[in-house]
Amino acid sequence: MATASSLVKATNTHYCLLSSTAMATCSSFRPQLSHRFRSIPTSSFSKIQPFSASLRAFSAQASSSTSKADELSIRVGFLGIGIMGYPMAQNLIKAGCDVTVWNRTKSKCDPLISQGAKYKPSPEEVTAACDVTFSMLADPESAVDVACGNQGAASGIGPGKGYVDVSTVDAGTSKLISGEIKSTGASFLEAPVSGSKRPAEDGQLIFLTAGDKSLYETVSPFLDIMGKSRFYLGDVGNGAAMKLVVNMVMGSMMATFSEGLLLSERVGLDPNVLVEVVSQGAISAPMYSLKGPTMIKSQYPTAFPLKHQQKDLRLALGLAESVSQPTPIAAAANELYKVAKSHGLGDDDFSAVIESLKAKLQS
Ligand SMILES: NC(=O)C1=CN([C@@H]2O[C@H](COP(=O)(O)OP(=O)(O)OC[C@H]3O[C@@H](n4cnc5c(N)ncnc54)[C@H](OP(=O)(O)O)[C@@H]3O)[C@@H](O)[C@H]2O)C=CC1
Ligand SMILES: O=CCCC(=O)O
């Protein structure tokens, strides 16, 4: 496992998480993107590639040096303009990228079109018109449909192009999509994100990537516009698995935090004080400080829809099952999210899971 001591500063703004053999060479790594997709020079990366086999993981901090509009003449597609897709595509547009958007519900594209985005009426036409296409879809079913279905992304893509799926799906789904995309001669990268609506708006997402390394290198400047860091984790499936593990932990944390808020209130404590106490101690987490105050008021403004958190727990439990790893806490949490969903809270923020612990919902 890489440790903090292997975090080396490679340039003013880049950090590499490297094995000790790679550390010395990393200092000359500086990704640049100054040509269109088909003619991207790989020489910029030659210093780091010989060491790729010895990397346990590679991460880098976002760099503003690669976000100049004149360096970003690659035609970028974006499929799925929802809570996350909208701000991610918007940040690409703001950075001066040539962006073409598509969404099942076309009206969600309209504000982006007025900000300079182009529009195509199908995923197939987006991938045909663009060099690299990102997709941010709800779940495995929609991700497969948009990538592989009728007029899907795979129909318009081909050699020299790339497809980057940033949706949260399971490894099997990601491999299926990868297979369809790569059978056309195109490249594939999975790149699910950690971070919610606000980090997406602020360009502060964390990308968990896996798949074609050359595509990872090509799209890194775009990841750096949308995010604050990126991890390259190897084979397709590893990014999906990492994302599911992270969200499994998050879903369980939110469920137990909900129990704590309600218990504190039941025994006559002020839950606002609980939030303050938690924020100062070893279990402090931004999520508790951000969501606690609204949860106490029974308000759940949606950043991360509860239905997606339940989907992620379901997929994480499937992952655990596949390797016979016991996950009883996550399994219990999943039941709470299912209860909340069955009471019509699927489109509320996932913090609405607290409602499933209130007496009125349990009767
Ligand atoms: N919100 C968050 O905090 C985060 C979400 N994620 C993940 O990112 C993904 C997107 O999340 P988010 O933006 O919040 O979700 P939304 O529900 O806001 O957006 C979902 C997107 O998927 C599209 N979609 C759904 N079903 C279909 C379908 N059958 N065919 C075509 N398009 C479809 C929607 O289109 P339409 O507008 O027409 O419904 C919309 O563009 C999910 O996988 C989620 O787990 C990851 C990190 C954080
Ligand atoms: O998948 C959603 C993640 C939300 C977050 O990381 O805050």
290 CA → ligand 2 middle, Å? 13
| Residue 344 dihedral angles phi and psi, to the nearest 5° | 80, 20
Task: Show the 3-state SS of 54-121.
Answer: HCCCEEEECCHHHCCHHHCCCEEEEECCCCCHHHHHHHHHHCCCEEEEECCCHHHHHHHHHCCCEECC
In whole angstroms, what is the distance from residue 39 CA to residue 143 CA?
A: 29
Mean pLDDT along residues 106-114: 98
Grade residue 363 by pLDDT with cuts at 50, 70 and 90: low
Mean pLDDT along residues 325-351: 98
| Catalytically active residues, by annotation | 243
Higher pLDDT, 73 or 133: 133
In whole angstroms, what is the distance from residue 302 CA to residue 34 CA?
A: 38
In whole angstroms, what is the distance from residue 361 CA to residue 88 CA?
A: 36
How many CA within 13 A on the CB side of residue 186?
Answer: 26
> Does pLDDT of 11 surpass 80?
no
Grade residue 359 by pLDDT with cuts at 50, 70 and 90: confident
Give the tens place of pLDDT for each residue, 234-290: 999 999 999 999 999 999 999 999 999 999 999 999 999 999 999 999 999 999 999
Looking at the CA of 109, name the nearest ligand: 1
For the ranges 252-261, 289-298, 352-361, the lowest mean pLDDT is seen at 352-361
Q: What's the token pair of residue 251?
A: 């879903």
Mean pLDDT along residues 313-317: 99
Question: Locate tokens 């990868």: which residue?
Answer: 178
Q: What's the token pair of residue 51?
A: 């060491």
Percent of residues, the chain, with pLDDT higher than 70: 79
| Residue 108 dihedral angles phi and psi, to the nearest 5° | -70, -15
Question: Measured from the CB, is residue 247 less than 6 Å from ligand 1?
Answer: no
Percent of residues, the chain, with pLDDT higher than 90: 79
39 CA → ligand 2 middle, Å? 35
Looking at the CA of 153, name the nearest ligand: 1
> Does pLDDT of 233 surpass 60?
yes
Question: Measured from the CB, is residue 262 less than 6 Å from ligand 1?
Answer: no
For the ranges 71-75, 194-198, 199-203, the lowest mean pLDDT is seen at 71-75
Mean pLDDT of the chain: 85
Mean pLDDT along residues 120-142: 98
Could you tell me the pTM of the whole model? 0.86
State which of 207, 257, 304 you would mutate to test the pocket of ligand 2, scoring each by most atoms of that ligand within 8 A of its C-beta: 304
Give the count of beta carbons closer than 10 Å to the beta carbon of residue 222. 26
> Does pLDDT of 23 surpass 50?
no
Buried b (16+ CB within 10 A) or exposed e, 148-181: beeebbbbbbeeebbbbbbbbbbbebbbbbbebb
Give the tens place of pLDDT for each residue, 37-69: 333 222 222 222 222 333 345 566 655 444 444
Query: What is the predicted ipTM?
Result: 0.99
